[in-house]
Chain A
């Protein structure tokens, strides 16, 4: 991002009445047979610009952006690993892009073969019994999973179970998804070592417990050591275990959620399976379940019968929780995840977890050696770890936000800040397996240099960033004086 001082006009400021990209206009006949009262009377505010102006405008906007392709992006819990170009190219073959979702099965066998095989791959690496690929993001996978837990209890006539337990370190989507499914949420505290507090859990479980939602490794960057005890406690009281697959990159190919006692889970294909995050999506959040929850999986799914792939719909699966999208979720992301899985193969998947963990532990070791405080110093890092700047906040009066913004000046995307909420002034750092040692060293050296700046020139941090297209932005003003659309009459 070298364009610090270049202005970036809003696209409507480039617009000139009557300017059109002629070669993109389809031919039309003059007559309109629709009655006037059904027609639009005023043109929408869309830019009137040339093709070159559009290309240049959006290319320039792209240059005002950090991305994996241009920067190290250690955003904890988001698994910003390399998104292979080959995968993108092959998912963009004409036969896939031009394929209508409501085509006959005979016209869809190529895509359906890929979807079916991905279902089988995900079954094997999770140890689960059945998979539905349709949820369009992790949060929708969570919704589907919790809805299945509800359907399971209801089918048994077990209607008193109206509580979902969620550790206080969980992703915000967990409680939000549980509420959207009609459950009450009960938070379970974390102990000093970053594990679920077992005593508190035991107090919380009972005849109202429908289930628990857990991430393992947890969002604290440590492995939940008591997982088998937790599974026992929950199952003994008649509840089910939901696995939030956000951190699956840490264990893929090493251990299986089914062996930990989980009944239902989702995977974030845009994390573990390297599909592009796209500036905030699309993602995909397939759900996997054990045998007792299989009847409730969302539709559609793909079956293989006599070398023919077939859609499974409500007729085949009468107990399904139903449909979650117009067609079958983010099909193109499903295709990309399948391609990535085929490039990796079984051994490749195992190495993902190993090298993601190696990179995180190496970076943690280097930072600890330089005096940074790990949130859980006695614990191993998993694929990610937390540094807390609570001491520096006291002694140097700088915050995690200041460090994050200063990192941007050095060309690194910031780690996740202030999450999980229970660790003060924290940075959640996830390097992923695709980063080279040299990058990790540069990042560690930079953080060390920034802490030196904090001692000698703290203003450099507090005023950061200095080198980007804008300085620190006023978020309070943005929320208070809502400006969500461009107003031509007012201008820039």
Chain B
């Protein structure tokens, strides 16, 4: 009886108090045809319960199957070193097993932490305010798009979506906003540089919003100032999609162009969240203070108690589904509180200088990798533009085979661009963060050379 504390004596007392003979009598308001049809046929997929120890043996074996790879994949999920204190503290039961802080007085710890998070994230993006998190980067972009539509008076909304945005983000936005009477307009990238030019936007001046990724999916730095100014000249809102680690080094959205971006969103995973098969991560969303009432998701505000002492509460709840129901700014309820807790601890441990160093070390490692890869014949850097910590590399040979061959040596060589960008041929997106040592990079390059040589792809 896992986790059920009742003794036979307890059960008898409780049933006597209620005035029934057996537990099943408590279900007597359910139509009998339902209880009968559901009676356990021998179960096909659900075996008897395991003990914790039995389960541990099973799971250790499964975890081992997926373990021990040297990972050069980025593409929206990044391996960064996570200080021990981050999850030691974040998984304290008081944080991990609380729920949404509906009872503010009994949740001051989490509420203060989320307020500190909002401050850190807003400052990292150089924006005025931040919410307390959304699900992940892709769905945060979808919410940002819906927010931009609410902010605009235009009923026929067109959202400009450069194809240099993460393709999974584009797919997610499409799924979520599909029923909202708006048009997602793809904007092609410049084939030579791998980025979007303001000139290519010239016919799109009646749009509602322009999404600008920085760095973009290819790792390339977009011309954020020029794009932002072009958009604002035409009364188009700017939605920035950024990597928060990169923003410790690169110009943050609030400082793009003359006026800065209007909304900044993205995935917070890089800030202290493990890769963990893709989740849970969290989405962040920052904006101008004047747009606060159109922002989706939970927001924490500082106020005072009846003695005048400062304290924190969930605020602007009149936007939310539990109050406004069908008229809410979003249907979101549960968000990603625990992930924000970890990220806040991560940012506090690293501080401004530590975060800048993580960003710069990642960039420098990628540059080292790039320089070494370019010495291999048959390999070329696709876009000779400035990049952050990812590069798109083109091969003369099928990338599937390269990935498979390196996988045999426990090296994950990168993410194949073939499906999403068939026009790029045999291309891999490769990432080296600060976690990669010079030896790791040398091993990758040597193994790649060896693999190409063995398969007669070179010379």
Contacts and interface: CB of A to CB of B under 8 A. Distances in A.
Indicate the size class of the contact surface on chain A.
35 or more
A176 B139 contact: no
A189 to B, nearest CB: 15
Interface stretch (B48-56, B204-212, B374-382, B442-450): B48-56
Contacts of A348: 1-2, 49
A140 interface: yes
B301 A483 contact: yes
B305 A96 contact: no
A344 B54 CA distance: 12
A142 interface: yes
Interface string A300-323: 000000000000000000000111
Contact of B313 (A73, A270, A332, A473): A473
A207 interface: no
B285 interface: no
Nearest to A466: B105
A58 B85 CA distance: 10
B151 interface: no
Given A365-B17, A473-B303, A95 B67 contact: yes
Interface string A424-453: 000000000111110000000000000000
B319 to A, nearest CB: 10
Contacts of A351: 1, 4
B352 A176 contact: no
Nearest to A323: B171
Given A54-B348, A101-B278, A280-B101, A96 B334 contact: no
Nearest to B400: A104
Contacts of B337: 277-282
A343 B63 contact: no
Interface string B1-30: 111111000110111011100011011111
A180 B330 contact: yes
A489 to B, nearest CB: 13
A302 to B, nearest CB: 11
B99 A40 contact: no
Contacts of B126: 44
A361 B17 CA distance: 9
A124 B105 contact: no
B162 interface: no
Contacts of B6: 355, 358, 436-437
B168 A176 contact: no
A242 to B, nearest CB: 13
Given A61-B112, A436-B5, A486-B115, A66 B172 contact: no
Given A344-B49, A408-B103, A259 B34 contact: yes
A255 B28 CA distance: 12
B354 interface: yes
Contacts of A123: 45
B396 interface: no
B352 A46 contact: yes
A113 to B, nearest CB: 6
B94 A63 contact: yes
Interface string A461-492: 00101001111111101110111111000001
Nearest to B275: A100
Interface string A42-81: 0111111101001101111111111111110101001011
A172 B332 contact: no
B93 A68 contact: yes
Contact of A323 (B13, B89, B138, B331): B138
A263 to B, nearest CB: 16
B45 A117 contact: yes
Contacts of A436: 5-6, 10
Interface string B94-124: 1111111111111111101101101110111
Nearest to B64: A95
Given A46-B124, A98-B79, A478 B172 contact: no
A143 interface: yes
Nearest to B5: A436
Interface stretch (B175-183, B230-238, B451-459): B175-183
Indicate the size class of the contact surface on chain B.
35 or more
A82 interface: yes
Given A40-B251, A331-B280, A437 B14 contact: yes
A337 to B, nearest CB: 12
A358 B110 CA distance: 32
Interface stretch (B152-160, B184-192, B339-347): B339-347
A227 B34 CA distance: 10
A251 to B, nearest CB: 8
B27 A475 contact: no
A225 B31 contact: yes
Given A101-B275, A468-B106, A51 B26 contact: no
Contacts of B130: 484-485
Given A73-B99, A473-B313, A65 B34 contact: no
B29 A380 contact: yes
A413 B105 contact: no
B129 A484 contact: yes
Contacts of B409: none
Contacts of B424: none
A103 B73 contact: yes
Contacts of A381: 26
Contacts of A212: none
B69 A110 contact: no
A65 B108 contact: yes
Contacts of A95: 62-68
Contacts of A414: 103, 106
A403 interface: no
A172 B325 contact: yes
Interface in A73-97: 73, 75, 78, 80-84, 86, 88, 90, 92-97
Nearest to A18: B353
Contact of B99 (A177, A277, A471, A475): A277
Contact of B321 (A62, A121, A176, A223): A176
Contact of B303 (A19, A283, A478): A478
Interface in A329-374: 329-333, 335, 339, 341-352, 354-355, 357-359, 361-362, 365-366
B36 to A, nearest CB: 9
Nearest to A118: B45
A355 B5 CA distance: 10
B274 A97 contact: yes
Interface in A6-21: 8, 10-12, 19-21
B364 interface: yes
Contacts of A113: 62
Contacts of A41: 251, 255
Contact of B318 (A83, A471, A479): A479
A21 B47 contact: no
B335 A281 contact: yes
Contacts of B2: 84, 343-344, 348
B35 A90 contact: no
B425 interface: no
A412 B66 CA distance: 42
Nearest to A94: B67
B434 A26 contact: yes
B267 interface: yes
B59 A93 contact: yes
A335 to B, nearest CB: 8
Interface in B240-260: 247-252, 255
A197 interface: no
Nearest to B345: A58
Q: Which 9 A-B pairs have the closest CB atoms?
A: A327-B278, A69-B93, A182-B179, A278-B338, A345-B49, A101-B278, A95-B63, A95-B67, A322-B175
8 contacts: A44-B124, A64-B109, A65-B98, A75-B102, A280-B335, A342-B47, A436-B10, A482-B301
Given A101-B275, A142-B331, A366-B17, 17 more contacts: A24-B83, A39-B251, A46-B120, A51-B349, A67-B96, A69-B93, A100-B73, A104-B412, A127-B38, A173-B331, A228-B34, A280-B101, A280-B132, A327-B279, A329-B278, A355-B23, A479-B315
